[in-house]
Amino acid sequence: MILPCFDPATWGPSLDAAVHALSRGEVVVLPTDTVYGVGADAFQPEAVARVLAAKGRDRQMPPPVLIPSVRTVDGLARDVPAPARALMEACWPGPLTVIVAAQPSLAWDLGETRGTVALRVPDHAAALALLARTGPLAVTSANRTGQPAATTADDAKVQLGDAVSVYLDAGDSALGLASTIVDASGTALRVVREGGVSWDQLVEIVGVQAFDEEAGA
C-alpha cells in the first residue's frame, strides 16, 4: 500500500504502518534526499534477504545501512579514519555513503561485506523520523537491478510491486541522483561512485592527500 508522508503533522499513521511492517521483517519503500530506497531492519537477516530478492540482487552486493545520525557510527563501525569522520561530520545528513570496517560483534547478515558496512545519514525529514524509531535500516535504491532508480513512490511500486508491504510517498525525490560512495576501509580513501557530493567538495573537506592516487582520475 502507498501511504502519504508529506507533512510531519499528518504522517504519523503512515510511519506507524512502516514501523510495524519493519518489525515483522517486511520490506518498505521510503523517501530519501537522493532517490527512493527499499529497505528492512538491518538486524533481521531474512528481511535483508527479502530486500535483495526484491531488487534482484544476490549476496555479493550487500545493501548500505541508513542511520539516524553520526552518533550511531561508533556502535556499528570500528577504526574509523579521521578523514572519513571529517566527511561524515561535514556531509551528513546528505548524499554521501561511507564504507568503513564493521564492528565484528554485530548480530546481522547484510551479505558478503568482507567485514565492512556502508553507512549514510539521509537528509530527508520523513526518513530521519522513521530511522529515529527503527534504528539502522538496510536500504538500497528502490528499483530492480539494471533499471533506473525510482524518484517517486509510484515508480518504485511499478518495479517492486508486492515484494514491498508499505510505500511511503513524499513526492518527487529532491535530488534524483544517487549518493557519492567513499570507501574508507583501506589505508586511504577511495571514491567508488561520484554522485550527490562532488570530487571537488570531498577534496575541499579533507584534502587530496587523504585519497589514493587514482581517486580523482
Q: Model pTM?
A: 0.93
Q: Contact 77/160 with Cβ under 8 angstroms?
A: no
| CATH 3.40.50.300, domain 2-208, yes or no | no
DSSP helix/strand/coil, 65: strand
DSSP, collapsed to helix, strand or coil, labels residue 145 as coil
The number of C-alpha atoms within 13 Å of 135 and in the hemisphere containing its C-beta is: 7
Nearest to 153, CA basis, from 27, 38, 11: 38
φ/ψ of 24, rounded to 5, equals: -90, 5
| Tens place of pLDDT per residue across the chain (217 aa) | 999 999 999 999 999 999 999 999 999 999 999 999 999 999 999 999 999 999 998 888 899 999 999 999 999 999 999 999 999 999 999 999 999 999 998 888 888 888 999 999 999 999 999 999 999 999 999 999 999 999 999 999 999 999 999 999 999 998 888 999 999 999 899 999 999 999 999 999 999 999 986 544 4
Domain regions of the chain by residue span: 2-208
Nearest Cα to Cα of residue 183 among 103, 64, 100: 100
Cis amide bond preceding 64, omega within 30: no
Alpha-carbon distance 140 to 122, whole Å? 12
Select from 66, 49, 35 the least CA-distant residue to 135: 66
